[in-house]
Amino acid sequence: MAILRLRKRSRLNRTTPFQWVLTALLTMLAVFMLLPIVYLFNHALKPYHELFLFPPTFLARQPTLDNFYDLLVVTKTAVVPVSRYIFNGVIVAAATIVIGTLISAICAYALSKHRFIGQKRLFSVIIVSLMFAPETVQIPRYYVISKLGIINTYWAHILPVIALPVIVFLFKQFIDLLPDELMEAARMEGATEFGVFGRIILPLCMPAVATACILIFQSTWSNMETSSLYIEDETMKTLPFFVSTLTGGLANSVARQGVAAAASLLMFLPSFVMFLLLQRRVISTMAHSGLK
């Protein structure tokens, strides 16, 4: 009997030819998807004479940090240094993540676990809003922000992007899987609605919270619309707007290409690091979403 069990286990643990082929294909696909990231890093480390070689080189032959030094030099004599743009971007991204995640989670909790008049219609409106392109709401947004009197403030960066229908949809699909008995037991113990949300719903939704943080950060960190439309004071603009001005308005498209490559890498790194830190939570969110 023991020999038969060992044989069955060996058959189960044996890798089939199909699995070998599938593993090889997935490995090649993963390497192919890494190529843009490798190129971005190497492009920022290329010296000036390698940026315009023909045929272009994928890897930097003589890696250097001169592009990052030039980036600091370009803004050293300017009225607004690059550190100010980075600081504004960090403040706006952090505030948007906290406020946007809380608002989306509360909205999803109400739509998922409460019954009220117009609930289904409200959720339908949120789903339909996913179809609108950002350009279609620029004028209404500017009108609202102007009437609120928050031009040239951090709120002009934050308010237009905290209402994200896709995050509300993500949270609702996740909260729908939570049993109602947990909330009923908490209410019987005397917990308020905010207590139920803060002590039960939000901790159980941590995978969805991590996914929401990544999506909100990516959309906010690379957003140039708020700086272009709602901000006139240069000291209140963010890093994406600064990157767009490095090569814009020049007499040729050759100058400052190394500086632009270094700035583009700085734009990419925070999103990349954040995704690496929270990728397990993201995978957990996808697994839970697939259960319904």
Reported as a single tens digit per residue, the pLDDT across 61-113 is: 788 887 887 777 766 666 777 788 888 989 999 999 999 999 999 888 888 88
Rounded to an integer, what distance in angstroms lies between the CA atom of residue 157 and that of residue 105? 21
Residue 287 pLDDT more than 70?
A: no
Show the domain range for 176: 80-238+266-289
The pLDDT confidence band at residue 282, using thresholds 50, 70 and 90, is low
Q: What is the pLDDT of residues 13-33, one digit of tens each?
A: 566 778 888 888 988 888 888
Residue 209's CATH number: 1.10.3720.10
For range 255-264, the mean pLDDT: 76
Give domain status of residue 224, yes or no.
yes
Tokens of 246: 């490095």
Give domain status of residue 4, yes or no.
no
Q: Are 187 and 63 in contact (CB under 8 A)?
A: no
Domain count, the chain: 1
Give domain status of residue 163, yes or no.
yes
Q: Which amino acid is at 72?
A: L
pLDDT score for 290: 46
Give domain status of residue 179, yes or no.
yes
Q: Could you write out the DSSP letters of every residue in 84-129?
A: HHHHHHHHHHHHHHHHHHHHHHHHHHHHHH---TTHHHHHHHHHHG
The pLDDT confidence band at residue 172, using thresholds 50, 70 and 90, is confident
CA angle 174, 177, 183 (to 5 degrees): 105
Give domain status of residue 62, yes or no.
no
Give domain status of residue 114, yes or no.
yes
The pLDDT confidence band at residue 1, using thresholds 50, 70 and 90, is low
Give domain status of residue 218, yes or no.
yes
Give domain status of residue 146, yes or no.
yes
Residue 55: asked if its preceding bond is cis (omega within 30°), the reply is yes
For the chain, what is the mean pLDDT? 80
Q: What is the pLDDT of residues 218-245, one digit of tens each?
A: 888 888 888 888 888 888 888 888 877 7
